[in-house]
Structures are given as C-alpha cells and as structure tokens.
Structure 1
Amino acid sequence: MDQGRRRGLRLAALGVVLTAVAVPAYADPPPSTPPPASVTDVNRSLEQLQAEAAAVQADFAKATIAYTNALEQAQAAEAAAKKAEATATTSKGKADEERRRLGVVTAQAYQLGIPTVMGAESMLWSLAPIAESLQEIADRQTAITQLGNTQVSQYQRAMAAESESNRLKDDATSKRAAANEAAAKAQELSKQVQQKAADASAAMADQTADLDVASALSKQLQQTRNEQALARWQTYLAELTATKVTPPAAAALKNPGKLPTGLTPLTRRGAAVPGVAAVTVAGRTVRVMSAETIRAVNQAFSLLGKPYGVAATGPDKYGCLGAARVAWQPYTTLPNLVGKVYPNYQAVPAPQVQPGDLLVMGSKSLGLVHIGIALDNGEMIAADEAKGAVVVTTVPDNLYAVLRPTLGAPSKPQIAPVATSDAYAFRCGNTATSYDVGSGSWSWPLPDGSYEIGTPFGQSGSMWSSGVHTGQDFPASIGTTVRAVTSGTVRVEQPAWAGNLVRIDHGNGLETLYAHLSRVDVTDGQQVTAGQRIGAVGTEGNSTGPHLHFEVRLGGDPVNPMPFLATGSASTGWGGFSNGMIPAGRLCAIGSGHLLRCDAAAAYLQLSAAYRAQFGKSLCITDSYRSYASQVSLYQRKPSLAALPGTSNHGWGVAVDLCGGVDRFGTTQYRWMKSHAPSYGWLHPVWADQGGNREEPWHWEFGNPVSS
C-alpha cells in the first residue's frame, strides 16, 4: 500500500454527466503524416481503452471525493450539534437559577405587601403590572422601593436568561437536524461509492483483458509497419543498384556544385540539397545517397524490435538516444545528450529532410528531448518508450531541427535551447512514473455541472485530419466559462481547425490547449492562475457543435487529459498507459506471479540476489503491480490504508510490499534494506518511515535506475 498522490489537482466536477462516447465528434489539429491505417486503428483501440479507463477512474474518484467531503461535513455538523446542545443545557441551567432567584424576591415582596398578580399559570411570570406600579409604591416607602427595584431587575435578568435559553435550544435543534441530514447524505454517498467501486472493478476487469489483446495486436501491426518501411528502403537500394552508381563517400556530396561525374544536384523546392545527389537513367531520376548514410540507415533498420531501455545504448536495449548513436557509428559518435547533438552537426531546412538525417524534437521552452533517424513518408526510426521498443513511427509535430551528420560541423553556431532537468527526465532517461507540474492547485477547465464528457482522447473518426482525436471534448452551452487548469503563460492563436485557441505554457514541456472558443479573455504573454477565466465555450473552427476541445501536451505530444483530471496528480502514466491499466506483456515477472515495470523488475531481482547472499533466502514479497480493479477492491476493504484507486505506485508497477522481517521496523532485515536497497534504486518513502504520515515498513518503491 502507498500514500495517494493528491498534490496539485482538484478532483471535482461533481455535477458532471457521463455520456456515451457516441456523441458528436469534433475536429482536431492536422498531424504531420498519419501512419498506415491499420496501425492507426489499433493505436486508437489502445487509446480508446485508456480513455474509457480514465473516465471510469474519474467517475469513481469524484464519487469518492464527494463522499469524503460529505463525511467531513457530517463530522463537523455532529460536533457543532453536540456543542450547541451542551451550550443550550448550560444556558437552561442559568435560566432556571434566575427564575429561582426571582421567586425568592417575589416572595419577599409579597410579605411586604407589595401587590402581585397571580396569573393563571404562575405568580413568578405575571409581574408586568406590578412593575408598572412600583414607582408609586416607592414614593411612599423607601424599603419597599428598593425591594421593588430588585424585583424588577431580577425579573429582567430572568426574562433575558429564558430568552437566551430558548434561542440556544432552537439553535441546538437546528444544528442537530443539520447533523442528521449530513449523516444521512454521507451514508447515501457511501452506498454510491460502494456501487461505483463494484462497477469500476467489473469494468476494469473486462478492459484489462481487452487491453492485453489490443496490445498484442498492436505489436503485430507495429511489426508490419516496420517491415513495410524496410521493404520501401530495400526497393530504393535496388533502384540505386540498377543505376550502377556506387554510393560515393560523404565528402564527395557535401557541395552540390562540385559533384562526381554523372551526378546532378537533387533539388527540393528549387534549392539544391547538400549531402545528396541524383542520377538520371533511362529518363528516371534516382536519388544518390552517401555510403555512410546508407550504412547508418541499414544499421537503424537492424535495431527494429529491440526493447526500449532507459538511457540504454545496446546491444540488448536502446533508450532515447541509443538507437541514433549506434546507427551513426563508427562514422561519428553522437554526444550522450540530445541537447549536445544539435550544436555539433549542420542543420538543414525541414523540407530538405532525407533518410539518415537526425531529427531532434523539442521547443525553446522545453529544450531538446527526443531524437530519431529520418525515413521517407514522414516516418522515422526511434526508440519509443510508449511502444516499448525501437520502431518505425511518425515524425511528431514538435520537430525542432533536421541535422545531417555527413555535412559535418555547422557553418554558423547552433545554440540548443536550454533543457530543464524535468524535461530531460521525462523523455531521455525517464524513470519517473508521473510528470511533476508543481504544487500549485489545478481546476477543471469548465465549472461544475456546466458540461458533459464527450468525445474522448484517441477515438477514431474521419472528421479528424489525423484520424485520431487528440484531446478530450466537453460539450457545453456557448458562452460557458472556460478556465485555465493551472498557472502559466498564455499564447493566443487562430488556427483553422480551432477557430480561437488559447495555449498555456506551464513550464517543463507541459502545455494545455483550449479550442473552438467563442470569446478569448486573455492576451499573448499574460500570466494566468488556476481557475482564471480565459474565454468562453464556442463552436468556432472545424467543429460540429458547441464544446470545449481540451488538450494536454507533454514535450509537444498530445496525451490523454483524463488521467490528469482523475488521479489527483498530473500523472502521464508510463509507456502511454494509465495507472493500473498496463498490459501484462509490457511488464516483467519477478517470480511467484508478481510483475513490475521491467527496469524496476531487473533492479528488484538484483536486490533480491544480494539479500539472498546475506540471509540465505530470497526477499519475501506479498504485493507488486496492482491493477486498477484490485486497487478498487483493496480500497473497498481498507479505505483508511489504501491509496485512492488510480494513484497508487503499485498501479505503475514500481512498488512492492515485502514480508519476512522487512515488514517490521528495527529488524535486521529492515535495517539491511535501508542500507542496501537504495544502491539498487529501491527506496523506502519518507511518509512510510517510522514516525511518518503512515508507518509502513513493508512498502518500497523504485525511484532511480541501477548505476552502470
């Protein structure tokens, strides 16, 4: 078990209405080049499952938060009622004492012959006429006057005490009614949470099976895409061979004006392309690439299918930069950071891109975060964390520059944008399970109860130029307030697909987009805060109905917004999957039926081997990867101990619960783990330490890769 990560986002929108996904579909921004239809279909299937899972998570989370809030309100109301009842009881005692004193004074007045009126109920509460005649009596008898004044004063105190007692009694009655009502509401919401939990568990159990099937099919279609790209490359090599032109050295093609005999410049948009040439045979023009470039592309193709590994450089796994480095060796050795690659190699205009070129992705605010080897047809070969392997994939729309290694160093200085540590951690060498967007508050983009949940992220449809929906739609009335989800810097745009678009840069590569607005209430460069009005819902641009199209982008890539709004932390998931929705095929076994994210599993097995060498037996483990359905089940049974479903690190495959002595503070086994586990990347979180927020000696999390 672990502590729910609720920092940063408000889990609300209690008035939201979940609708079927068959609502009107709305338009998206155009992509670079869409992948083959078959691959796109399966990717959408995976994304659709993720979107549906996130919607279920959001629905359950909102019900849970509503219940939690109602329970807190009921407890506060009960405390207020008890306090009011105690105060009323005390006040009644004071009123009774004042009435007793009035009785004594009245009895004395009666003995002195001061007239009193005996009403139908009681002499003590029929003194008003006497009070009116006391002054006449006092004119005759000083002693009687003094007693009369005392009687009137006591009467007033008694009446005030009685009035205050009645007021406090009414207040206590009102507060008791409110407490009873709050308790009934909490009880009803508790029943709803239990039903939501049962529904969520059943839905997730079905979707987990579907996810495994879709993931397996996606792998098959990715392999087909890889093979199709290789076949196109091999066709090109065959055409080049047929020209009987031997690919020249890179140096011979650097200057389009001084090419080897028989070769002519290759042009793009009327400009000669350096580093490549052309030859015409029987009226057919064939591109001629350098021998070094051909070798680099061949080597890149040989890496297809190799598993993704954080910062890995082969031969078994490859990280963000690893595949590109291996492809271009031994001709050149790329630096070990993408940001350091850009200053060292000549950039060429994007329209002149050729196979073998290095494609670096990023932005000025984010830095350079990813790299691939260019192919034709808007594709590239890259180590892709979401795919879990080196694959052929579409060039993303955050392409920053095209570099051609065969042209050598740049003719003019090329200064790479400064990358933040968070940006680097997210793309190249990512071991984090979530994207930290700071501790500031978040809000939903529309007010509670003003919208429905419409077309989800990843849904397919011909109305989108990419064939894939890149955001989450919220159908709402025109003019409904649109709010910034968190603080950032505004940029206002008017692309054709969106009409009016507000883009907010939140730093470290995180952006949110708000499209189809009927009105924009902010300006370029303006700083906004969470919940601040930035515009109003409309139907501008390529839209078939009034709605807000909301996107979250990380490093320029659209990601599913719903986990951000559902989990209580700005979680991007891992490998493109939601918490608790990772297919078994993307996880690695550690024995006894337990699974972890593969880098965490490798580190765990090394840790277990060291533990076995010390104690003569393997680590005792009770829990590892936890599906969303099992998180819900645990939350039903132990709501005070378990994390809110969808927030557990068990759901990312990077947490374990241990036994065999490690589960008790102060034991030899526990002390050994505290001393040695960090060397393998396994940490005991501060909140779980002795004296922490929740003492759990058994809970350990994978935080850093094993040092190499």
Structure 2
Amino acid sequence: MLPRTRWRARRPSILLVAAAAATVVGLAGPAAADPSDQPGGTTGVLDSDALDELQRRAAEVQADLLARQGDVVAAQEALTAARDAADQAAAQVADVEGELADHQAVVAEYASALYRDGGGLTPLTLLLSGGSPGEVVAAMGYLEAVDDHAAEVVAAAERQRRAVVAERDRAAAALAQAQERADRVAAEVQALEDAAAAVTSELDAALGDVDRQLAQLQAEQVRVNQETAANWRAYLDELVAAGVAAPPAGQLLDPVAGLPGGLVPVGSVAGGAQAGAAQLPRQPTSLLVLPREVLTAVTTAMDQLGLPYAPGTAGPESFDCGSLVQSAYRAAGTELPSDQAGLFATTRPIAREDVLPGDLVFLGTPEAGLGHVGLALDSRSMLAADARAGAVVVRSLPMDQALLIGRPSLGQRPPEAAPGPTAGALRVECGNTVHPPSFDGTRSWGGYPNGLIPPSALCPIGVGSHSLRCDAAASYRAMDAAFAAAFGTPICITDSYRTYAGQVRLYGQKPALAAVPGTSNHGWGLAVDLCGGIDGFGSPQYRWMVANAGRFGWLHPTWADPGNGREEPWHWEYAGT
C-alpha cells in the first residue's frame, strides 16, 4: 500500500464547542498526492517563444494561401469554362465540316449523273430528245434552278465552316490564355506550399518535443490519480479498523444538539462547530468522520478517474464537471443539478477555511464569472472532470479562484444566480474557455493550434489509428454503437484528425477543393469523413445519420448539402451536445 499523507486542519488551534469530548491537536483524514497545476498535462507546455514563432510563420503562409484561394478557384473555373468552350467550338467545326462534305457529295453525285448521261442534260440534248417545246422550256428552267441551288448550298456551308473555324481559333486562344493564368496561379500556390512544407517540418519537430512533455505530464497525472485513490481507500480502511460506521448526513447536521456515540464536533474557522462532519478523538490525531453520503459520493467520483471529459455527457464513458458531481451524489441518494450554474445556485455555502472532502468547489474569476466545479479532497486539491485536462483528474485547488465552497450534505439553499461573464469576457465551462463557433484563432481549442494537437491530447475512436478530440471521440463511439445496432456493422470511416502536414499535402493535391492548411475542422479533431453508404445522399445509412447524428452532437454542415456547390455526403462535424 502506498504511504498515506495525513489530512490536517489548517488551524490546529481551532476551538471546539464546549460539548467536545476532547481537545484535539490535529485531524487525520484522506489526502491527495501532490496535485498538478497542469492537470493531465494541459496546454501550458505549448507556451514557448520558439513555438509561437513557428506558429506565426505558419499563420503567414496560411494567410497568403487564403488570399490566393480566390485566385485559385477563379483560375480553375476560367480554365474549365475555356476548355468547355474550346471543346464546343471544335465539335461545331466537326459538325459544319461534315455538313459541307454532305452537300459536296450531293453535288458530286449530280455531276456524276451528268457524266454518265454522256455529257449531261443540256438544251441541245433536250431538243434532240424529241420532247415538245413546252417540255424543253420546263426542263431548261429546272436545270438552271438546280445549278443555282447547288451553288448556294455549297457556298452557305463554306461560309458557316469559316465562321465556326474562326470561333474555334478564338476559343483556342482563350484556352491558352486561361491555361497560362492557371499555370501562373499554380506556380504561386506551389511556392506557398513549399513554404508551408518547410515550416511544417519544423512544427512537427517542435510538436514532437511538446508531445513528449505532455506524455510525461500525463504519466505524472496518472500517478497522482492512483496515489490519491489509494489514499482514499486507506482512509476508508482506517474508519473500518477504528470501528466507525459512517453515520447518515442527518445525524451530523447539529453537532451542538448531539452526535453519534464517541464522536465529537469539528471546529469551524468562525468559532463553534461545523455542521455535516465529526471526528473520533484519539492520539496523536483525531480521525475525520464524514457522512455516509459523502463517502459514497467521493468513492464514486474516484472510480471515474481517467475517464474522458466531454461536454454535455453524463457517463458512463465520459463526463462534464457538473454531471460528474451529480452522478457521484446521486449514487449516494442525493439529487443535485447537473450543470455548474445549477449546482452553484442551490449549494449551501461554508467558509472556505472549513473545506472538507466531498465539499463542492466552484472556481471562477470576476471577469469570466463561474467557470468550474469539482469535489474538494482537501484544502489544496480537488477531483473534477476537467476540460483542460480532457479527463476526470485530481487537480490543484486554487483557493484564490474559489467563488464558493459548498456542502451538499447540508441541504440546498434558496436559488442564487451564478455570476456570469462581464465586459464581453468569454464564458468558461469546466475550466476551459468556450469560444463562439465563428472563432478562428490559432489556439481556439484548449490552446492547441489547428493540425498541431499532440497525439497524447487526442483520444482514439477504436478504429485503426483514427483519433479525435476526446469529447468528440466519446460521442463518436456512442454514435457508432447506435449505428451498429441499426445496421449490424460499425460506421465506415476514412479520415478523422488531420495534421497540419496532412492538410498541406492534401491542399497540394486539390487546391480548389481542400481547405487551406490550418483552417480545416479535421485539424481540430472535430471532423470525420465516412463511407459504407453514408457517402451517398439518399442511402439508408445517410438517412440514418441525418435522423440520428444530432443526438450525439454530430451534424452535416450546410455547405456540404446537395445544391450548395460542394456536395460531400461523407463529411460530418462534431458540434457538441
């Protein structure tokens, strides 16, 4: 068993009420291992001048590519139109030349007939044929008409041919001009792609260093989680060994009126005794006794350590900060709200100096308002589903950011609105700033740049090497299970998180179609490309996604819908739940 760290009151000289059975000089209870200021290895590891400079260079290339994107599309469209016009003109030339050839063949056949008739019909042959004068006159008029018509038909066909040939030449010249423009734009884009590739190699190297640091921090976080859980189990064992049966919360609400046999009150910083807790007097330290409901809640939360953080989820595979607190106390038979604002509104406050395990800690700032909630473990650590860590972790408790410490075992207070953002500040949810959907900053997700998310910060979806942001991965797995129940097979997937380097390569292959490097939702770990029927509008699989994906936070973006210019039935994006 790992060595235990004793929980001690911050003020050993706290006075107990007169009814206390003994004067205590210390209080033993559970304690967390040293918590990290960067729970789970957060993006603080990215805050370096060198990486910022690389990102600045990448952003410059990205801006240039964005500026050229309109030229690329326009040049491609002009080239396509010129090719179509040239092809159409060439087809028209072929048509009129064929028509001219047909007319010429008819005239030639007429000439051949005249030749077969020994020189053909002439006024003299008509007279010698012995016909009446009327017949001769009529025949001579016919011959003149035929000759005139043949000449007109051939001449008209020739004029049409020349006009179409001239049009073909103009189309060919336009095509050559469009091709020259497209080649010029392609050369400019190629130069930018080369610059992007150069900075990408440096970014990849820097990202490798970041990922190694992140993996180290995550390993340290796992150690902290494991030691904290071991300390908690040791505390529970100590209660059993001392013969203490944890009383229900109702028996600890009024220490002055009395406590279960053998227990004495815990002093409060304000003087008197704390409601909702007791202690077993002994030497050298008394043993902290918490209500049965609190022990169950904290134990339940401990069992979730390491599970992914995902906004809007409430277990069993992932949690957000409010749902973790709710599920932990629900296991103890205590119903609480499921969101941080609702919990703040109804939790009865206590003095922050009186904080004990199982108390709720509400963190925030005057500008952003309420931004986090978790379960206290002692005066310097808390257990929470942390958005920055992307997981349920034991993290530091910054008491200077504590807006409120509350004790659920005391019942609920009259609702009081949670403080929100002021002066245009962004909202904070479970420790992470929530950016508006249109935000396109270089660090819009947890501080990571687009396409430069360390592998250790992503979560696998259980298919090959595909990975996504952890909340998106948890939601994808849930959606995949529902899809498999409907169709008997898992979702077919071809693409998920796409690195910056991968975006550069794809842009080089399809500059008019692919997103500019550094702007793709694939680079945030928030987009997938699917197959197996989902890649066809109107298929049963696609219709299922349209009807059900929203339940899991996934949507088909409007720009990819039929009739909007870039029809991509296979592309789906995570927007949260």
Residue matched to 1:65: 63
Q: Among 47, 52, 56, which residue is 2:54 paired with? A: 56
The secondary structure found in structure 2 opposite 1:273 is coil
Q: Among 344, 351, 361, which residue is 2:346 paired with? A: 344
Residue matched to 2:559: 687
Report deviation, 1:310: 4.0
Instruction: Give the whole-Å Cα distance in 1 for the aligned partners of 2:276 and 2:386.
Output: 28
Instruction: Give the whole-Å Cα distance in 2 for the aligned partners of 1:54 and 1:679.
Output: 38
Does residue 506 of the first structure (1) align with residue 378 of the second (2)?
no
Q: Among 489, 503, 510, which residue is 1:631 paired with? A: 503
The aligned length equals 428
The secondary structure found in structure 2 opposite 1:266 is coil
How do residues 487-566 of structure 1 correspond to structure 2 at under 5 angstroms?
A: 505-509=423-427, 554=428, 557=431
Instruction: Give the whole-Å Cα distance in 2 for the aligned partners of 1:704 and 1:41.
Output: 24
Distance change >3 Å, CA 572–CA 349, structure 1 → 2: farther
Q: Among 454, 466, 474, which residue is 1:599 paired with? A: 474
Calculate the aligned-residue CA RMSD, in Å: 4.5
Report deviation, 1:330: 2.6
Report deviation, 1:202: 1.1
- The AA in structure 1 aligned to 2:451 is G
Q: Among 388, 391, 396, which residue is 1:389 paired with? A: 391
Report deviation, 1:607: 6.8
Distance change >3 Å, CA 508–CA 571, structure 1 → 2: same
- The AA in structure 2 aligned to 1:654 is L
Is contact 1:197–1:633 with CA below 8 Å preserved after alignment? no
How do residues 321-470 of structure 1 correspond to structure 2 at under 5 angstroms?
A: 321-328=322-329, 329-362=331-364, 368-396=370-398, 398-410=401-413, 413-417=414-418
Residue matched to 1:194: 193
- The AA in structure 2 aligned to 1:580 is G
Instruction: Give the whole-Å Cα distance in 1 for the aligned partners of 2:536 and 2:505.
Output: 25
Report deviation, 1:267: 3.0
Is contact 1:621–1:656 with CA below 8 Å preserved after alignment? yes
Deviations 1:59-78 (A, max 9, x none): 212233246558989x9xxx
Residue matched to 2:321: 320
- The AA in structure 2 aligned to 1:60 is A
Deviations 1:155-203 (A, max 9, x none): xxxxxxxxxxxxxxxxxxxxxxxxxxxxxx9999867633431123213
Deviations 1:511-562 (A, max 9, x none): xxxxxxxxxxxxxxxxxxxxxxxxxxxxxxxxxxxxxxxxxxx4595779xx
Deviations 1:217-253 (A, max 9, x none): 3332112112332344456556666766654443333
Distance change >3 Å, CA 294–CA 66, structure 1 → 2: same
The secondary structure found in structure 2 opposite 1:644 is coil
Distance change >3 Å, CA 677–CA 292, structure 1 → 2: closer
Distance change >3 Å, CA 352–CA 198, structure 1 → 2: same
Percent identical residues? 34
Q: Among 642, 649, 667, which residue is 2:521 paired with? A: 649
Distance change >3 Å, CA 620–CA 611, structure 1 → 2: farther
The secondary structure found in structure 2 opposite 1:579 is coil
The secondary structure found in structure 1 opposite 2:216 is helix
Distance change >3 Å, CA 286–CA 209, structure 1 → 2: same
Could you state the TM-score of these two structures normalised by the residue count of structure 1? 0.51
Residue matched to 1:31: none
Deviations 1:432-465 (A, max 9, x none): xxxxxxxxxxxxxxxxxxxxxxxxxxxxxxxxxx
Instruction: Give the whole-Å Cα distance in 1 for the aligned partners of 2:566 and 2:52.
Output: 27
Residue matched to 2:451: 580
Distance change >3 Å, CA 292–CA 599, structure 1 → 2: closer
Instruction: Give the whole-Å Cα distance in 1 for the aligned partners of 2:531 and 2:304.
Output: 41
Deviations 1:642-687 (A, max 9, x none): 2232321111223223456755667787667556655665432112
Instruction: Give the whole-Å Cα distance in 1 for the aligned partners of 2:391 and 2:430.
Output: 20
Instruction: Give the whole-Å Cα distance in 2 for the aligned partners of 1:194 and 1:317.
Output: 39
- The AA in structure 1 aligned to 2:416 is I
- The AA in structure 2 aligned to 1:401 is L
Deviations 1:486-508 (A, max 9, x none): xxx6xxxxxxxxxxxxxxx3244
Is contact 2:375–2:382 with CA below 8 Å preserved after alignment? yes
Distance change >3 Å, CA 667–CA 324, structure 1 → 2: closer
The secondary structure found in structure 2 opposite 1:58 is helix
Instruction: Give the whole-Å Cα distance in 2 for the aligned partners of 1:590 and 1:298.
Output: 29
Instruction: Give the whole-Å Cα distance in 1 for the aligned partners of 2:544 and 2:313.
Output: 29
Residue matched to 2:44: 47
Report deviation, 1:356: 1.0
Report deviation, 1:280: 4.2
- Deviates further, 601-610 or 249-258: 601-610
Is contact 2:40–2:390 with CA below 8 Å preserved after alignment? no
Report deviation, 1:380: 0.8
Instruction: Give the whole-Å Cα distance in 2 for the aligned partners of 1:700 and 1:291.
Output: 46
Instruction: Give the whole-Å Cα distance in 2 for the aligned partners of 1:363 and 1:63.
Output: 36
Instruction: Give the whole-Å Cα distance in 2 for the aligned partners of 1:309 and 1:45.
Output: 16
Report deviation, 1:625: 1.7
- The AA in structure 2 aligned to 1:222 is Q
Is contact 1:67–1:189 with CA below 8 Å preserved after alignment? no
- The AA in structure 2 aligned to 1:65 is A
Residue matched to 2:110: none
Distance change >3 Å, CA 594–CA 68, structure 1 → 2: closer
- The AA in structure 2 aligned to 1:399 is A
Does residue 263 of the first structure (1) align with residue 283 of the second (2)?
no
Q: Can you give the 5+ residue segments of structure 2 that lack an aligned partner in the other structure?
A: 1-31, 74-183
Instruction: Give the whole-Å Cα distance in 2 for the aligned partners of 1:334 and 1:41.
Output: 28
Residue matched to 2:131: none
If each structure's helix is expressed as a fraction of its own residues, which one has the higher value? 2
Distance change >3 Å, CA 314–CA 666, structure 1 → 2: closer
- The AA in structure 1 aligned to 2:424 is H
Distance change >3 Å, CA 201–CA 42, structure 1 → 2: farther
Report deviation, 1:693: 5.8
Is contact 1:311–1:320 with CA below 8 Å preserved after alignment? no
How do residues 176-325 of structure 1 correspond to structure 2 at under 5 angstroms?
A: 193-233=192-232, 236=235, 247-260=246-259, 263-268=264-269, 270=271, 272-282=273-283, 284-325=285-326
Is contact 1:212–1:584 with CA below 8 Å preserved after alignment? yes
Is contact 1:364–1:417 with CA below 8 Å preserved after alignment? no
Instruction: Give the whole-Å Cα distance in 2 for the aligned partners of 1:312 and 1:556.
Output: 12
Instruction: Give the whole-Å Cα distance in 1 for the aligned partners of 2:531 and 2:545.
Output: 12
Residue matched to 1:107: none
Q: Among 467, 484, 498, which residue is 1:609 paired with? A: 484
The secondary structure found in structure 1 opposite 2:274 is strand
Could you state the TM-score of these two structures normalised by the residue count of structure 2? 0.61
Report deviation, 1:56: 2.9
Instruction: Give the whole-Å Cα distance in 2 for the aligned partners of 1:671 and 1:655.
Output: 19
Distance change >3 Å, CA 409–CA 644, structure 1 → 2: same
Instruction: Give the whole-Å Cα distance in 2 for the aligned partners of 1:241 and 1:607.
Output: 44
Instruction: Give the whole-Å Cα distance in 1 for the aligned partners of 2:319 and 2:494.
Output: 32
Instruction: Give the whole-Å Cα distance in 1 for the aligned partners of 2:246 and 2:541.
Output: 63
Residue matched to 1:85: none
- The AA in structure 2 aligned to 1:409 is Q
The secondary structure found in structure 2 opposite 1:375 is strand
Q: Can you give the 5+ residue segments of structure 1 that lack an aligned partner in the other structure?
A: 1-34, 76-184, 424-488, 490-504, 510-553
